[in-house]
Amino acid sequence: MTADEIRAHIDPMRHEFAESRSLVLPALKFAQTEKGHLDRDDLAAVADAVGLTSAYVESVASFYDRLYLKPTGKRIVSVCVTLSCLLRGSDELLRRIEEREGLPHGVGTTDDGELTVQEAQCLGYCDRAPCVQVDVDETMGPLSADDVERLLDDLRAGDRPERLWR
């Protein structure tokens, strides 16, 4: 994504922040919506748009789990592994994904590049454990291993969203 596109996105929200540093996360999240991950050019473009050094922007980008520095699938499935979900069988969900998709520990990007599965810390759905989140749109639960299989099938068959908010 170009610095100009990022600028167009963050300029309207500049007044909300006292410091330009605060714009780094919104800028990175937006820059990621094009490809679903951030490459070096994207990071440099964010640095340019926000007016900070590339070292600083990289520090932020490499810290957050939901900012991806390697290519991802068109949808990201986050399986909660915090206490409630773990007690209610999230490890079972991951095991099924491992068997079905051949991903070690159920985590990673599928061979066809369609889906990325990751572990997540508490998603706030303890009353519906074990839960799963798709990108940032939808959190669902409680899910059985079979439910997860169906979810993966649906996501794989579905369209690629125009913007990949994660």
Partner 1 sequence: MNSPLAPDAPETATKTVTLEIDGRSVTVPEGTTVWEAAREMGIEIPVLCHDPVLDPVGVCRMCVVEVEGARTLVASCVRDCEDGLKVKTASDAVVRNRKTLTELLMADQRDTSTRDEKTGDDELFSLAREFGITESRFPGGNSRPVDSSSPVIDVDHQACILCDRCIRACDDIQSNWVIGRTGKGYKTRIGFDLDNPMGASTCVECGECAAACPTGALTNKPITVPIEAKRPLEDVDSTCPYCGVGCALTLKVDREENKVVYAEGREDSANEGRLCVKGRYGFDYASHAHRLTKPLIRKESHYPKTTLTGAMQRKDDGTRKNGVYPDYDKALSAFREATWEEALDLVASKLKGIRDEHGGGALAGFGSAKCSNEEAYLFQKMVRTAFQTNNVDHCTRLCHASSVAALLETIGSGAVTTVYADVRNADVALLTGTNATSNHPVAATFFKEAARNGTKLIIVNPHRPELADHGEFVRIKPGSDVSFYNAIMNVILEEGLEDTAYIEQFTENFDALKEVIARYTPEVAAPICGIEPDRIREIARTIGAANAMIVLWGMGISQHVHGTDNARSLISLCLMTGNVGRPGTGLHPLRGQNNVQGASDAGLIPMVFPDYQSVADDDVRARYEEAWGVPLDPVPGKTVVEIAHGTEEGSIKGMYILGENPFLSDPNVQRARDGFMNLDFLVVQDIFLTETAEVADVVLPATSYFEKTGTYTNTDRRVQLGQTALEPPGEARLDWQILCDVMTRMGYEQGYADVEDVFVEFSDLTDSYKGLRYRHLAGRGKLWPCPDPENDEGIVVLFGDGFPTPTKRGKFSPAEVIPPAELPDAEYPFVLNTGRTLQHWHTGSMTRRAKALDEINPDAFCEIHPDDLATLGVDDGGMVRLSTRRNHIRIKAISSTKTSKGSVFVPFHYREAAANLLTTDALDPVGKIPSFKFCALKVEKA
Q: Does 62 bind partner 1 (CB under 8 A)?
A: yes
CB of residue 157 vs partner 1: minimum separation in angstroms?
35
Closest CA to 44 of 58, 30, 62, 33: 58
Is the Cβ of residue 34 or residue 58 nearer to partner 1 in the bound state?
58
Number of residues this chain uses to bind partner 1 (CB under 8 A): 12
Note the Cα 155 to chain centre separation in Å.
15
State which of residues 48, 58, 91, 114 lies at the interface with partner 1 (CB under 8 A).
58
Q: Does 40 bind partner 1 (CB under 8 A)?
A: yes
CB of residue 1 vs partner 1: minimum separation in angstroms?
15
State which of residues 18, 63, 112, 138 lies at the interface with partner 1 (CB under 8 A).
63
Cα 125 from Cα 23, distance rounded (Å): 29
40-50 vs 24-32: helix axis angle to the nearest 10?
140
Residue 102, token pair as written in the block: 């051949």
Q: Does 112 bind partner 1 (CB under 8 A)?
A: no
Cα 118 from Cα 153, distance rounded (Å): 17
Is the Cβ of residue 31 or residue 134 nearer to partner 1 in the bound state?
31
| 129 close to 85: Cβ distance less than 8 angstroms | yes
Site residues (CB under 8 A) for partner 1? Answer: 40, 43-44, 53-59, 62-63
